[in-house]
Chains A and B, each alone.
Chain A
């Protein structure tokens, strides 16, 4: 069975601080995908990144970076120089392309990030 754990329920930082959101996953499969989604206060789910299990390269996109480590089953997300607009709930998710639930994503419980001025 798959499981995604986001141990940080809420994080509060002051603008311009760096913040890392942790994600640990469990799966028996060798082929899988990992995702991060952002849910701002307006409620929609915004796709941020997808990683497949064979690609452990870290990725940077502007102020966002992701650290994927298979050895520790972690896929952490760092926001550099945080801004108020980064305030949102962030979800880590795991997809097993061979599961019998189609390609449904299993989500972690989310980390609520509050960035204050």
Chain B
């Protein structure tokens, strides 16, 4: 039973295309996140989202948008892909309130390559 699952695991596409990465968690957590890991392995928060509030890292281009159909899903849509978007994208989740211990539960990552 995968706790946080992402699809696809690998995605190769051309510049200018629009693509989505899906994320689902079966942990019952209220908060989900997207992280970007660049070629130097640096992990940077892109978004955090719970069913009340979306918090966006101000450095993220508006070509990136999270979509959450319900609290178990947080998909990442990317418009007009650029070469610099090539990275590994990690989805994560965490409980909120009194259950929160600060730990994030990560998916296995989705490697996006833009040609």
Q: Which residues of A contact B (CB under 8 A)?
A: 32-33, 35, 39, 43-45, 47, 50, 52, 89, 91, 95, 97, 100-107, 109-110, 112
Contacts and interface: CB of A to CB of B under 8 A. Distances in A.
A97 B102 contact: yes
Interface stretch (B18-26, B65-73, B78-86, B88-96): B88-96
B42 A50 contact: no
Contacts, number: 68
A110 B33 CA distance: 20
Q: How large is the interface on B (under 10, 10 to 19, 20 to 34, 35 or more residues)?
A: 20 to 34
B48 interface: yes
A89 B41 contact: yes
Contact of B102 (A44, A50, A91): A50
Contacts of B45: 101, 104-106
A44 B109 contact: yes
Interface in B37-53: 40-45, 48-50, 53
A100 B48 CA distance: 10
